[in-house]
């Protein structure tokens, strides 16, 4: 292990400990640290962007494939709660159709994350609202 790798893993451990102490589950922490779906999809079919009342901003990018979500990503400029919630939303919608995606609410995401601090529940709302804004815009576009 190089010095830089050792420092990075020590830093990750510190972050994990801090998040655990603040009330995040290991699942939520893993989403935050690994950020598996962070980024943009340049040729996305469905997108939206939202800023929460806290000032944090996120955008969602969905690429459809044969009637289901083939790929999805979030670009998040926000807190650990926002990032973990956004990553959980992607795991929920990948491989599913848009009717299913429309059924996702705060409770669905909370079940995946298991535990995040009460003060961070609005971060889940931001991830869900961003998804629904994108789905509503897409539906409007399709019916035009
Ligand atoms: Fe703004 Fe978490 S504090 S989304």
Structural domains present in the chain:
3-143 (3.90.1010.10)
Ligand 1, atom 2, lies closest to the CA of 123
CA of 55 relative to ligand 1 center, distance in Å? 7
Strand partners, 32: none
CA of 138 relative to ligand 1 center, distance in Å? 25
User: Tens digit of pLDDT for each residue in 9-42?
Assistant: 899 999 999 999 999 999 999 999 999 999 999 9
pLDDT tens series, the chain, 144 aa: 777 777 788 999 999 999 999 999 999 999 999 999 999 999 999 999 999 999 999 999 999 999 999 999 999 999 999 999 999 999 999 999 999 999 999 999 999 999 999 999 999 999 999 999 999 999 999 898
DSSP helix/strand/coil, 53: coil
pLDDT of amino acid 8: 84
Let me know: does 126 contact 58? Beta carbons within 8 Å: yes
Q: What is the pTM of this model?
A: 0.94
Pocket test for ligand 1, best of 52, 77, 124 (most atoms within 8 A of CB): 52
Angle at 110 between CA 19 and CA 132, to 5 degrees: 120
């Amino acid at each position: 292990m190089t010095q830089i790798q050792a420092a990075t893993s020590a830093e990750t451990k510190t972050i994990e400990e801090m998040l655990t102490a603040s009330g995040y589950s290991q699942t939520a922490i893993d989403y935050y640290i690994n950020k598996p779906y962070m980024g943009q999809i340049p040729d996305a079919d469905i997108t939206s962007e939202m800023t929460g009342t806290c000032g944090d901003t996120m955008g969602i990018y969905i690429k459809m494939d044969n009637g289901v979500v083939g790929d999805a990503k979030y670009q998040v400029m926000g807190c650990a709660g926002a990032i973990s919630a956004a990553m959980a939303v992607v795991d929920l919608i990948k491989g599913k159709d848009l009717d299913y995606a429309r059924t996702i609410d705060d409770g669905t995401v909370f079940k995946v994350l298991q535990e995040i601090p009460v003060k961070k529940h609005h971060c889940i709302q931001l991830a869900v609202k961003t998804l629904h804004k994108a789905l509503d815009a897409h539906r409007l576009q399709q019916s035009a």
